[in-house]
């Protein structure tokens, strides 16, 4: 949930920043044909793409941070510790 929620919030902020500059009615497919979707559909699809990419990058960062170190030996503790 830490990845999903933080990436959701970041995708919302990124969408606000992108569409403050870009008009969805003037988008074109690689400069040729115009995108024939409603502005609401463009907002929705872009949000889902932003959310997916940010979630993937957050998941990879979390995976790399939590990789176990193989050289560390577990410490021996007395039975029943801690009480």
Q: How many CB atoms lie within 10 A of CB 6?
A: 13
Evaluate whether residue 20 is within a structural domain: yes
pTM (whole model) above 0.75: no
Quick check: bond before 82 cis, omega within 30?
A: yes
Evaluate whether residue 42 is within a structural domain: yes
Evaluate whether residue 29 is within a structural domain: yes
pLDDT tens, N- to C-terminus, the chain (83 residues): 888 999 999 999 999 999 999 999 888 888 788 888 999 999 999 999 999 999 999 999 988 887 666 766 666 766 666 65
Evaluate whether residue 16 is within a structural domain: yes
Total of domains in the chain: 1
Evaluate whether residue 41 is within a structural domain: yes
Q: Which two tokens stand for residue 31?
A: 């400069």
Evaluate whether residue 73 is within a structural domain: no
Of the chain, the end-to-end C-alpha distance in Å amounts to: 31
Evaluate whether residue 72 is within a structural domain: no
Q: What range defines the domain where residue 50 resides? A: 2-65
Token pair 């990845």: residue: 3
């Amino acid at each position: 949930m830490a990845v999903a929620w933080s990436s959701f919030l970041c995708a919302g902020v990124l969408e606000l920043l992108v569409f403050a500059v870009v008009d969805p009615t003037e988008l074109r497919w690689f400069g040729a044909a115009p995108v024939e979707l409603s502005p609401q559909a463009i907002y929705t699809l872009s949000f889902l793409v932003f959310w997916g990419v940010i979630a993937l990058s957050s998941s990879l960062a979390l995976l790399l941070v939590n990789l176990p170190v193989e050289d560390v030996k577990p410490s021996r503790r007395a039975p029943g510790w801690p009480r």
